[in-house]
Structure 1
Amino acid sequence: MALKLLAVLLALLLARGVPTLLHLRSFGWLKPWLRATGATRTGIVLAVLLPAALAGVVSYVLLDRWLGVLWLAFALVTLLWTLGPRELEADLEELLNAAEGEMRATALQNFGDGSDAALAWSAPSVVGAGINAALRRRYAVLFWFFILGPGGALLYRLARLAAGAAGHAAGLPAAQQDFARRMAAALEWPAALLMVLAMALVSNFDAVLGSLRAWHNEPGRSWLGLDPDFLPAIAVAGVNADVEAGDGYAVDATDVAGELEDLAHLLNRVLLVWLVLAALLVLGGWMA
């Protein structure tokens, strides 16, 4: 766990401090690979699992070599490859600085990872898109990296790409695309729950958990559904609670720019909680 934490810290610093590394995040081989494995559910699972399993084997082989230095290098490269594809903070800054019109429309599309068609310039819309982008670009990758190592990070990224991001699944039948989306959502679900727990700890506890209960108690929704669709509503509740308590940058819940800054602040605190939790696990392992 100590090496995993070190790899995460280095990857986050490099991704933020050396933007030129973003060009490494290319998965151009995935679309033909999906076609090669067959346009079936089994083919999609194999297309995701085989590269992830290979990364897991390489990770296992390197773990005890050169005091873990080779494993750390491999893990760092894998994280830099699977995070993103763009840095959330950079897109957030672009959106805040974008003028109205085409420039803002482009910034909104980038901020929503291209998955939110005609994303509106309103606080609930951009906060919801922002939390989904954070989950898919960073937190789900980190969750599976901490659980399974480099193979886990690659597993999630390939599943998300197969679910339709960047058009990698465009040639698959509709039923297979739907299966890929459900597979990616199932992988995102535990990471989203951990994000909610962290948001409850660093924001308004009652507002966050109350919103989670209210969302799941609505007709047609279940606590057992492996889907992170609840996350935008929770994020909006947490940010609005900070605004109402006077702890945020915005003075009202309709101030889009202020709510975006509050969201960025909230996500930084969530990341800090995750890193502290990982550090505590490392300390616990050393003391055991």
Structure 2
Amino acid sequence: MAIKLLAVLVVFALAKGLPDLSRMRDFSRLRVWLELLAQMGGKLQTALAILVPVTLCLLLQWGLHGWLFGLLSFAFAVCVLWYSWGPRDLSEDIDAVVKAPDSDRRLAAAQWLRPDGVEEPLAFEAPALVDATFQSALKRWFGVLFWFLLLGPAGALLYRLVQLLAWSSPFTSQQGEGLALARRLSLILDWAPSHLMALALAVASDFDAVFHTWKAYHDRMGKGYFSLDLGFLSAIARASVDADVIAGDGYAEDINDPLVELDDARHLLVRVLIVWLAVAGLLVLGGIGG
């Protein structure tokens, strides 16, 4: 776990200090891989498209363990995590909206906040911006981070491949029946990190607002707490940001101002990230997680 946590910090530093590196994340070879598997058809094509690269990554992960005092394993972990991160930089996308010089360019920049799979234009309204930002944070940060901390590089790669196959338009069009499999796997992989985001958000923001919104959402939907309906994340995101803005947060109290809410959403997500890293650090100190 200590090596994984150090790799996470290095990737954070790279994302912050060298944001242009994100342009090197090229998944175009995945289209070639899907074409090679096209003759398999159906769910087998999608399953093999995920399992083969993840298995190879897992074998490398095990094979490099302990070599050169763990340096090779650490370097491999950093490379895979960095490659699986994003792909776009969420902080830069938020900055592009906040710093846009006019409303037209602000609206255009806001479209990059949409998570993969959302084709409808994003309205420049506070609830829509907060919802899109939290959904993108789950896909770009917290999902890959959770599976990396749990399974190492193979977990990060697994998460990214599933998300790309499930929601990214260049790859969804190359699948038939396997698309349903990819999308169900995506929801399964998102279930735990989305709930942990909610828990960390309750700690980092207004606990009552988060808890009551989470409970009210499940009561209203009537699907139970263990269903794959993850819409609660959008509901608690809006509730926690509204509560944070109403509390003042030192500068504003207008929950109808899209820029105020978007900026506060970023601050809350950073707090959630800090909570996650703090818990991971405590696990390291306690000798838990390997």
Q: Using structure 1 for the length normalisation, give the TM-score.
A: 0.94
Match of 2:184 among 177, 182, 185: 182
In structure 1, what is the equivalent of residue 134 of structure 2? 131
Corresponding residue to 1:251 among 233, 253, 265: 253
1:49 matched to 2:57? The reply is no
CA distance in 2 between counterparts of 1:183 and 1:214 reads 26
- Post-superposition offset of 1:86: 1.1
Task: Write out per-residue CA displacement over residues 1-46 of structure 1, whole angstroms, 9 at most, x where no aligned residue.
Answer: 0000000000011011112211221111112322333331232122
Number of residue pairs matched by the alignment = 286
> What does residue 15 of structure 2 align with?
15
Structure 1 position 256, deviation (Å): 0.8
Alignment correspondent of 1:24: 24
Instruction: Give the Cα–Cα distance (whole angstroms) in 2 for the partners of residues 125 and 250 of structure 1.
Output: 19
Instruction: Return the alpha-carbon distance in structure 2 between the equivalents of residues 122 and 51 of structure 1.
Output: 40
In structure 2, do the counterparts of structure 1 residues 183 and 36 end up closer, same or farther at CA, with 3 Å as the change threshold?
same
Which residue is equivalent to 1:207? 209
Q: Equivalent of 1:241, from 212, 226, 243?
A: 243
Looking at structure 2, the residues matched to 39 and 102 of structure 1 have their Cα atoms a distance apart, in angstroms, of: 43
Q: Is contact 2:57-2:154 (8 Å) kept?
A: yes
Q: Which residue number in structure 2 is paired with residue 63 of structure 1?
A: 65
C-alpha contact 2:241 2:268 (8 A) present in aligned 1: yes
Paired residues of 1:88 and 1:111 also in contact (CA < 8 A) = yes
Tell me which amino acid in the other structure corresponds to 2:175: L
Q: Residues 193 and 181 of structure 1: is their aligned pair in 2 closer, same or farther, counting only changes over 3 Å?
A: same
Partner of 1:106: 108
1:282 to 1:239, Cα distance in 2 relative to 1, 3 A: same
Q: Structure 1 CA distance, aligned partners of 2:87 and 2:104?
A: 22
Aligned counterparts of 2:278 and 2:221: Cα–Cα separation in 1: 37
Contact residue 46 and residue 179 of structure 2 kept, 8 A: no
Task: Give the Cα–Cα distance (whole angstroms) in 1 for the partners of residues 80 and 168 of structure 2.
Answer: 19
Secondary structure, counterpart of 2:123 in structure 1: coil
Instruction: Say which is worse superposed, 9-18 or 150-159, in terms of deviation.
Output: 9-18
Tell me if structure 2 keeps the 8 A contact 1:22–1:85: yes
SS in 2 for 1:163: helix
1:155 equivalent among 150, 154, 158: 158
Report the Cα distance in structure 2 between the residues aligned to 1:49 and 1:209, rounded to whole angstroms.
37
Distance (whole Å) between structure 2 residues aligned to residue 249 and residue 44 of structure 1: 49
CA 100–170 in structure 1, closer or farther in 2 if over 3 Å, else same: farther
Report the Cα distance in structure 2 between the residues aligned to 1:52 and 1:205, rounded to whole angstroms: 38
CA offset digits 1:42-80 (Å, max 9, x no partner): 321221122112111101111111111001100101111
Q: Which runs of 5+ in 1 are unaligned?
A: none
Does 1:33 find its partner at 2:33?
Answer: yes
Q: Given that residues 16 and 87 in structure 1 are in contact (C-alpha distance below 8 angstroms), is that contact kept between their aligned partners in structure 2? A: no
Rounded Cα–Cα distance in structure 1 between residues aligned with 2:131 and 2:36: 35
Q: Does 1:273 align with 2:275?
A: yes
Matched residue, 2:83: 81
Counterparts of 1:227 and 1:83, CA distance in 2? 24
Give the letter for the 1:149 counterpart: G
> Displacement of 1:249 after TM fit?
4.7
Q: Which moved more, 1:147-156 or 1:38-47?
A: 38-47
Contact 1:249 1:261 in 2 (8 A): no
SS at 2:287 equivalent: helix
CA RMSD, Structure 1 to Structure 2 (Å): 1.8
Distance 2:49 2:225 in 1: 30
Match for residue 119 of structure 1 among 114, 117, 122? 122
How many Å apart are 1:171 and its aligned residue? 2.3
